[in-house]
Amino acid sequence: MKWLAVIATALLALLVNAKPRGFRELPQNVSQIIGSDVILRCSAYPSGTEHDLHSQWRSNTGALLGFRDAGTLPGHDGRYSYIRESPDELHLKIERLELDDDGVFECQMVRQEVGPLRATAAVNVIVAPTEVTFVNYKEGTVLELQEDSALNVTCVSPNAKPAPKMSWYLNGKVVSNQVNSWDEYNPNKTVVAYTTATLRPTKSEHNKVLTCESLHNETGTRLRTSVTLHVLYSSERPKIDVVGGGENIKAGQNVTLVCSAKGGNPPPNLSWYLNDRPIGTLYSYDFSSQITRNEYSFVVEGSDNGAVYECRSSNRPNIPALRRTITLSVKYPAANVFLYGNTTVRRGDQLQLSCVSGPSNPPSVISWTVNDAQLRPQAQNDKRMAAGISTESNITIDYNMILSGQKEVVATCVATNEEGSASQRHVIRVLIPPEQPFIYGAESGPMLEGEVLNITCESAGGNPAAELSWYRGIEKKHSKHNHKHKLRWKQLRGGVAKVTGELSSNTIGIKLDRSMNTMPLRCEALNGAIDEPLVALKAINVLFPPRRLILRQPENDRRQMISGEAARLSCTVPSANPPAEVTWQFEKKGLETPRYTVSYNRTERATEYSAWEVKQVITFTADEKLDGTAVQCIASHPLWNDVVVAEHKLSIFYPPRVETQGPISVDIEEGSSFQKNLSITSNPPVSAWRWRKNGIGFDGTIGSVYARGSIIGGRSVGPADSGIYTVLASNLFGTVNVSMKVNVRYPARIIYITSPVIASVGEDVVLECEADGMPNTSGMVKWMRRDSELKSVIREQKRAVLRLNASHETSGAYTCVADNGVGPANYTSAYLLVKKAPQILRNRGHDRAAGPIGGRAKVVCHAVGVPDASFQWSIEGENNVIQYNSTKYLVHETQLDFTNFESTLWIMDLNEMDYSRRVRCRVSNQLGHDSIYITVSTPSAPDVPSNLEVIRVTNDSVALGWQPGFDGGADQVFELRLQMEGDKHTHSLNFSRSQAIINNLQPEKVYFAQIRAVNEHHRSSEFSLPAVEIRTLDEMGAEVVSTYSSSPFSSTTIYAAVIVIVLLILANCCIVCFMRQRKRQKKLHEKTEYARTTTLMNTADGSVRPVQTYGAVGTPSMRRRPDSSNTNRSELLNDRASEDDQSVRTMIEVSPNGCMQRYDPNCIVDYEFNPELYSCLNRNLLDAHGVTYAAMPYPEPPRGHNGGYSPLEQQEVFTYTNRHPDLIVGGPSGMSTLRRGSLNNNNTGTLHRHESPALSTFIPSGSVRTTTDPHALNGDLV
């Protein structure tokens, strides 16, 4: 035991010595509500050594919070922090507790001499419930329930920690039966508490409140939610009361039935039913007593006896109604009596009568009277019915009870009970047979078919009066032997019956027909006293014609009638009364009645209608003229009103023959159609048709001519269809042939002409013209020049020869005219070309050409000569002739017509040298040569068009022509300004040719026209002066005398003043342009010399050093006055950009010799001009209207030596309308549409469209170009 004491003492000493080394304060478990603050305290005993204490906390997730000083810890949204008041403690503070903080935290401390220390504490986060709800119902809901039906209600309180206590209350009393509760845990450690209660409510639970409670003891939270029970239940079984008692109810009495039922939710619907049929009544409900009442008042009738009235109480569908019934007992008399039995009696017969009363309560007693005599009581039988008892009684009446001569018996039946009586009277007639009938009214003799025979039948006596009926006899023949078999009777209806006293009569109107001939009429008299009718008979005689005649050839004759042979016809009258009289007639226009004989005539009794049959045969000679003749057989008699006719059309066979006499011909114009029937007749019809043209057979169609049987025709016939057409037609009896001539008339046309004819001066030439046409008329071919006919040396029907002596005066076009009066004349020109040396046309502007530096210029040389002319191009100062196309020069030659030739020289990559040297065009042929020098300059404004004149004028149109001038080096269009006298508005029209027709002018008006040219460089000339006056004709095409006042100055004075002003302006412009050009060339020369001589251009290795060169990059702008209709065209075009104001510096390499280096072709951009800017003429005026005009792209015809105009053929036509006074013609985009013609001197080729040409440098191939403005000088050096 000592050693045990020693050990205990040692352990105690160890424990006393170790305590200072461990935790001084251990962390404690904490339970706090979510959102509150918690401090977990942890401290150790102080150490007497120098070693420090290291401490930290481990979170509930196992994460170390770290060895840190006091303060907020990172993470956890700043809710975690250390609290340290001394080195030996470390407390963990958690603010705003969350569910994530629920768990075990560990305090960890370590000291060198002690080692690690660990202590844990649990943080329990308490979450109070926030709601309690029913799963399927909202709070305050009124639950409508059927009585004794099961109700399952579930209540839930979610997201609490720990789980709350769930309880049920019904009107404050705890419900514990059939209650089930359970919990479900969420991942965040909260609990969802469920509870379910099962109820079977009765009417005692109606309007009670069912409450679900969630009680959280940890937080003291109590939550409740409630619903109200609305229990539906039936009322008590209804009861029925009769007001005044239900005993001794009589018919006619007012009875009230009261039905009542107590309780029920909802209040019941009380309804009355009679024998299961609803009665529409109203019910009422008393809220205080909760009793529902329904009263039904009515006047009872006999039918209500034994009626079952039912009251039904129902307040819910699908729940059987509660019922109560009552059966009424009503006293009432019989309402009626029914008496059954025959209404007639014959002598010696007996009659039984039966009487039945209607239902009654109590049963009725029946009594009888006959002819007012009371009979003894008879046996009765009672029969129970639905509403009472019916009584029946029977009696028998013997004929001996009827007095002699009495015609009727009256029997009466009476049904009686204590409530009343009912009776029924029955009349019985006594039947007496009539006397024998007789017929009168058919004594006048025979009558015609269709007439009406009025006949009467009479019979005396009888009770009732006799019924008279009419019948007609009809023979029924044996089907095999066709003889009388028996007579059948058919009743006739429609008679008028009449009774007068003891006499009965029946009169009938009968429409007679042949079937009544010799047939009897029968009258029958019948009444109830006899079984077989009494009969009277009468026979009648009916006259009638035959319905049809049989007209045909006799059966033994041949069926065909051949012309020239004997023929027979037979006519049979099958049935008529009396026998018919037969006559014959032949019907054909223009034909005399042929001679015929009656070869057979017989009359005999017919087999039907007891009539007569007549047959007659005639003989005559057949002739082809009788073919188609209608032969009539006529049957008649004096006693008949009508005659009967049969017709037979004769068919007589004969060979084909032609109806048309004389020759047959058809004259028709070429391209027309015709059709003709040769009218060949035959019987039988033609079996074979054979057609020939000029003796050659064809089948159906030849050329444009077709033949179908006897019909021949043609569609769009031509000359080849003329000829003799013959047809051969045949049948079984012969053949015939017919010929017809077809002449196709067609206009004369020239088939040969000598052209062109080239001859020397003084040489005799022959022009020959040959034509073809139908008909060939005398003088059909002739020669004309201009409007004069020339005399031919040989003039035949189809040929004309003209002999001429060649000279320059006789050279030109000669017209051969072929006209035979059919269709329009045919015109063809022949040309006499007289040899002469070529001559270059020197019209305005033909000695000038233009193009921009670096661009190209089009030089045109136009010459006239015979024969062909050849061109040579050369440059002034050079001996070489341009013989081949190269990159510098392109040559293209064109022959415009027989005498006009044109050569075009394209000069590429224009430079200053090209401007300083003229281009020489030399044209030559075997007779001589001619040459002209053409100057090439920079682009300029076009010249003013000259010689504006009126070529032709009508009442609503005018044709104008003018002579173009130099185009300034670019394609030009012509702007025609038109103004009507008295109208301040002007109208501008654009044309690409030098001729135009303007339509839709107003008649009898004066217009003034001016013309100017606009080229693609946006430059324009001035308008031509003076304005040309245009006077439209009146509606009749006559000239109108001027009515406007003349100017105080003479036209000569005005013209002279205008010319002087124009000359002064031109002289001033020339001087200014010359000075500016000279100054620019001087600056260019200085810049070039500087570039060549500067030492900065050469580097040490002799390579090219880049220097800066600058060019103006112009921004095209449209400057105009949009509000002015008199804007000058020069204001509408682009002003030339200032070289100083609008320039962009561009780096370009320059070689030491001053020439610009060529750039890589892949980097070169070609730029000409923007066609949109060029087409924007009059844009300010066109935008508002959008009207277009058509500029026809026909080339302009060549001009003569004197610059005159060729005849107007293909012209630009502009439709002018004065509908809008300020109308200006526009293109599709609202702009004037410009088109180029072949007369322009320049063609810039394909146009490249650029959206924004501003601030860009464009370098054409082979040169340097530094501006988008085509007018700007290129390549200026600084």
What are the two backbone dihedrals, phi and then psi, of residue 606, each rounded to the nearest 5 degrees? -80, 160
Range of lowest pLDDT (272-281, 379-388, 1194-1203): 1194-1203
CA distance 98 to 1192: 93
pLDDT at 1086: 63
Residue 1272, pLDDT above cutoff 60: no
The predicted-structure confidence for 258-313, as pLDDT tens digits, reads as follows: 999 988 888 999 999 988 889 888 888 888 888 999 988 888 888 888 888 899 99
Q: Which two tokens stand for residue 210?
A: 């069912």
According to DSSP, the residues that pair with 366 across neighbouring strands are 415
Task: Please tell me the distance from the alpha carbon of residue 223 to that of residue 209, in angstroms, as a whole number.
Answer: 16
**With 90 as the cut, is the pLDDT of residue 1014 above it?**
yes
Q: If DSSP codes are grouped into helix, strand and coil, which group holds residue 893? A: strand
Residue predicted with more confidence, 1100 or 900: 900
Q: So what's the pLDDT on residue 978?
A: 92
Give CB contacts under 8 A, 24+ apart, made by 704-710: 705/742, 710/677, 710/678, 710/679, 710/680, 710/686
In this structure, whether the domain defined by 837-937 belongs to CATH 2.40.50.100 is answered with no
Q: Exposure pattern of 1169-1204 as b/e (b: 16+ CB <10 Å)?
A: bbeebbbbbbbbbbeeeebbbebeebebbbbeeeee
Query: In 334-407, at which residue ranges do the beta strands (DSSP E only) sit?
Result: 337-340, 344-345, 350-357, 365-370, 373-374, 380-384, 389-398
The whole-angstrom separation of Cα 266 and Cα 230 is 10
Amino acid code (one letter) for 221: T
pLDDT at 1099: 39
pLDDT of residue 583: 92
Contacts of residue 208, defined as CB under 8 A and 6 or more positions apart, other chains included, come to 170, 171, 201, 228, 229
Full 3-state SS string of 985-1026 = CCEEEEECCCEEEEECCCCCCEEEEEEEEEECCCCECCCCCC
**Every domain of the chain and the residues it spans:** 22-126, 133-232, 239-331, 337-430, 438-543, 550-650, 655-744, 754-834, 837-937
Rounded CA-CA distance 578/611 in Å is 7
Report how far Cα 1073 is from the mean position of its chain's Cα atoms.
68
User: Which has the closest alpha carbon to 1116: 1136, 1100, 1131, 1145?
Assistant: 1136
pLDDT computed for residue 858 by the predictor: 92
What is the pLDDT at residue 523?
Answer: 92
Per residue in 1058-1069, pLDDT tens?
898 998 898 888
Q: Which CATH class is domain 754-834?
A: mainly beta
Peptide bond into 775 cis (omega under 30): yes
> Regarding beta strands 757-759 and 826-834, do their DSSP bridges make them parallel or antiparallel, or are they unpaired?
parallel
Could you list the beta-strand ranges (E) of 386-451. Answer: 389-398, 408-417, 420-430, 438-440, 447-448
- Predicted confidence at residue 1145, as pLDDT, reads 33
| Mean pLDDT for the stretch of residues 665-674 | 90
User: Which residues, at least 6 apart from 423, have a Cβ–Cβ distance to it below 8 Å?
Assistant: 337, 412, 413, 414, 415
Q: Is the pLDDT of residue 510 over 60?
A: yes
Domain 133-232 falls under CATH 2.60.40.10:
yes
pLDDT digits (tens, 9 = 90+) for 698-745: 998 999 999 999 999 999 999 899 999 999 999 988 899 999 999 999
Bridge partners, 1019 (sequence order): none
1178 vs 300: CA distance, rounded Å? 109
Residues 6 or more apart whose Cβ sits within 8 Å of residue 671? 716, 717, 718, 746
> Could you say which architecture CATH assigns to the domain 22-126?
Sandwich (2.60)
User: Distance (Å, rounded) from C-alpha 269 to C-alpha 288?
Assistant: 17
Asked whether residue 40 carries a pLDDT value surpassing 90, the answer given is yes
pLDDT in tens, 165-201: 999 999 989 998 899 999 999 998 899 999 999 988 8
Q: What is residue 459's three-state secondary structure?
A: strand
What pLDDT digit, counting tens, does each position of 519-550 carry?
888 999 998 888 889 999 888 888 999 989 99
Q: Decide: 689 and 680 in contact? Cβ < 8 Å.
A: no
What band does 1094 get if pLDDT is binned at 50, 70 and 90?
A: very low
CATH of domain 550-650: 2.60.40.10
Closest CA to 966 of 1087, 1040, 860: 860
Average pLDDT over residues 60-70: 89
Q: Which CATH architecture has domain 337-430?
A: Sandwich (2.60)
* Top-confidence residue, 1258 or 731: 731
Q: What is the mean pLDDT of residues 763-779?
A: 90
Q: Which residue has the higher pLDDT, 615 or 588?
A: 615
Q: For residues 666 and 23, give the distance between their C-alpha atoms in angstroms, rounded to a whole number.
A: 148
Q: What is the pLDDT of residues 970-999, one digit of tens each?
A: 899 999 999 999 888 888 999 988 899 999
User: Residue 1047: is its pLDDT beyond 60?
Assistant: no
DSSP string covering 737-804: EEEEEEEEEEEEEEEEE---EEE-TT-EEEEEEEEEEES--TT-EEEEETTEEEPPSEE-SSEEEEEE
Rounded to 5°, the CA angle 193-197-198 comes to: 150
pLDDT the model gives residue 1030: 93
**Residue 1243 scores a pLDDT above 60:** no
Q: 239-331 and 438-543: same fold?
A: yes
Phi, psi of 625 (to 5 degrees): -70, -25
pLDDT at 13: 47
List strand residue ranges (DSSP E) for 867-1002, in order. Answer: 870-875, 881-882, 889-895, 900-907, 919-925, 928-937, 946-953, 958-963, 972-980, 987-991, 995-999
Average pLDDT, integer, range 448-466? 88
239-331 fold: Immunoglobulin-like (2.60.40)
What confidence score (pLDDT) does residue 870 get? 93
* Assigned fold of 438-543: Immunoglobulin-like (2.60.40)
d(CA 722, CA 472) in angstroms, rounded, equals 81
Q: So what's the pLDDT on residue 21?
A: 59
The tens digit of pLDDT for each residue in 904-922 reads: 999 999 999 989 999 999 9
Whether 1126 shows a pLDDT value over 80: the answer reads no
Angle at 967 between CA 965 and CA 969, to 5 degrees: 145
The stretches of 435-474 forming alpha helices (DSSP H) are none
* 1146 and 1109 Cβ atoms separated by less than 8 Å: yes
pLDDT classification of 1105: cutoffs 50, 70, 90: very low
**Which stretch of 39-48, 563-572, 1081-1090 has the lowest confidence by average pLDDT?**
1081-1090
At 1167-1180, the pLDDT tens digits run 333 444 333 333 33
What size, in residues, is the chain?
Answer: 1278
Residue with tokens 């860009």, as numbered in its chain: 1256
Using the Cα atoms of residue 786, residue 789, residue 793 and residue 796 in order, give the sign of their dihedral.
positive
Class of the CATH-defined domain 655-744: mainly beta
Does residue 1182 carry a pLDDT above 50?
A: no
Please say whether the beta carbons of 659 and 680 come within 8 A.
yes
User: In the predicted model, what is the mean pLDDT of residues 883-896?
Assistant: 90
Structure tokens at 996: 């135009």
* Distance between CA atoms of residues 657 and 733, nearest Å: 11
